[in-house]
């Protein structure tokens, strides 16, 4: 019996089999049965050992199969796809950036989502601060983002405000109904402003901080938060021109009108009359500009004027009748404007214009001219935030050419040195170019 209980770690397999065989023979001597069943018993023992070995091998293989990918993934960087977000109105893509392995412990899904949203907002705010946004057909280019609008969209005007939100005046097709919308930084519609169409009395202006939108529809003035909430409304046929802080400004659509302009404190509903023809207010709310035909001047030749809003009776007049102010540059050094040759359906705001930039301090024309080779024909222009250059959607075919005009996008210095930003294209119609520069 001692041989049957032999410790397998104290001898070789041959010794074990020999001892096993001897013990079995000893027992078999007292059994009345023919033959030697020792070889059968030994064979059974070997089968059992092989089975145990096979089970162990399968278990080891399974562990190895699970362990190898885990070990491999620990040394391998998982690729990150470029950002792409789509919405009901449009989609936005950004240039992919190389990913880096995490250096901090994993966070929860909620924390990751909140962090990504905060970073996206910071990025959008940084991009929105540049005065280099433009539209090409149905795409908006804002910083390093390209926002694809609904196919076939024609952009009449737009602005990028703080927080990356976008005010968009557009239509699907040139002859489609006009829409005024507030979009989030990805191109999704936050709110639609109704009623809206292009024509006298319909106008909009965003506040410098991007929080409010002043809209006129020919019958009333309405102030919206850019999240869609209606803040105030006032029956008035004058057109929206500017909103700064708690003050909204409007004036008669016709440049020749003698109707006083309006300053409306929408928080208290107090109003004040200002000189006719107000068209722009500086971002600090200190100075205004407009167009007038003074009774003491030649009736055929109007003047553009500037004045301090605190003392509007003290005006600086510059009587060059072809220049109509549209807006101040960001720091208030320049006025952007021009005279309209083809007001089509959108008046001075959308048609082909003789564009110009003038210096507020002395009234000198910095870019553009009433006629001749220095004329700057185009649709829209914006001075850079540092006021050293301007981005312009320029007409490159003469007004005498009746065909659909060619249009290019260029960035120029004030000494007329220009670099092409986007190649020459044909506009969809004579009244609207292919490229539109943001306000």
DSSP-assigned states of every residue in 146-210:
EEE-STTEEEEEEEE-GGG-EEEEEEESTTSPPEEEEE-TTS-EEEEESS--SSTTEEEEE-TTS
The top-level CATH class assigned to 198-319 is mainly beta
* pTM, two decimal places: 0.69
CA proximity to 233, closest of 221, 251, 250, 249: 221
Residue 429, beta-bridge partner list: 432
Tokens 């605190």, residue? 310
HSE on the CB side for 198, CA within 13 Å?
A: 24
Domain limits, the chain: 8-29+38-74, 84-95+110-184, 198-319, 322-439
Tokens 């030697």, residue? 36
- State the pLDDT at residue 397: 83
Residue 80: is it exposed, middle or buried by C-beta count within 10 angstroms (0-12/13-18/19+)? exposed
Consecutive sets of 10 residues in the chain, 439 residues long: mean pLDDT of each? 39 51 50 42 41 40 36 32 37 45 36 36 42 89 92 92 90 87 92 84 92 94 91 96 97 85 97 95 96 62 89 88 88 90 45 89 89 84 93 86 83 91 78 87
HSE on the CB side for 370, CA within 13 Å?
A: 7
Tell whether the torsion through CA atoms of 392, 396, 397 and 400 is positive or negative: positive
């Amino acid at each position: 019996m001692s041989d049957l209980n032999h410790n397998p770690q104290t001898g070789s397999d041959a010794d074990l089999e020999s001892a096993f065989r001897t013990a079995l023979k000893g027992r078999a001597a007292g059994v009345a049965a023919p033959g030697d069943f020792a070889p059968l018993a030994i064979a059974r023992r070997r089968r059992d050992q092989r089975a145990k070995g096979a089970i162990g091998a399968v278990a080891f293989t399974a562990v190895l199969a699970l362990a190898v990918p885990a070990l491999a993934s620990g040394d391998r960087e998982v690729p990150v796809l470029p950002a792409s977000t789509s919405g009901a109105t449009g989609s936005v893509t950004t240039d992919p950036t190389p990913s880096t392995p995490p250096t901090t412990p994993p966070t929860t899904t909620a924390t990751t989502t909140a962090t990504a949203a905060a970073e996206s907002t910071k990025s959008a705010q940084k991009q929105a601060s540049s005065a280099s946004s433009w539209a090409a057909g149905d795409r908006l280019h804002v910083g390093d983002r390209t926002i694809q609008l609904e196919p076939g969209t024609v952009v009449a005007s737009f602005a990028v405000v703080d927080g990356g939100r976008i005010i968009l005046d557009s239509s699907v097709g040139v002859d489609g109904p006009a829409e005024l919308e507030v979009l989030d930084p990805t191109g999704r519609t936050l709110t639609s402003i109704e009623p809206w169409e292009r024509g006298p009395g319909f106008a909009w202006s965003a506040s410098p901080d991007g929080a409010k939108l002043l809209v006129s529809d020919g019958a009333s003035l309405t102030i919206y938060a850019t999240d869609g909430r209606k803040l105030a409304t006032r029956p008035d046929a004058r057109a929206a021109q500017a909103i700064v802080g708690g003050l909204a400004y409007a004036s008669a659509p016709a440049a020749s009108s003698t109707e006083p302009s309006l300053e409306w404190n929408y928080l208290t509903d107090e109003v004040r009359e200002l000189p006719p023809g107000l068209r722009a207010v500086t971002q600090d709310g200190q100075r205004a500009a407009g167009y007038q035909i003074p009774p003491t001047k030649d009736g055929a030749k109007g003047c553009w004027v500037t004045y301090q809003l605190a003392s509007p009776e003290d005006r600086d007049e510059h009587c060059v009748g072809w220049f109509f102010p549209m807006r101040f540059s960001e720091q208030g050094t320049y006025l952007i404007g021009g005279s309209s040759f083809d007001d089509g359906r959108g008046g001075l705001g959308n048609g082909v214009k003789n564009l110009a930039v003038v210096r507020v301090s002395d009234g000198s024309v910095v870019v553009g001219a009433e006629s001749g080779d220095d004329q700057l024909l185009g649709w829209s222009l914006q001075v850079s935030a540092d006021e050293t250059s301007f981005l312009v959607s320029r007409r490159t075919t003469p007004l005498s050419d009746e065909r659909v005009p060619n249009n290019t996008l260029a960035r120029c210095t004030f000494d007329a040195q220009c670099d092409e930003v986007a190649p020459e294209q044909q506009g969809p119609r004579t009244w609207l170019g292919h490229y539109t520069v943001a306000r």
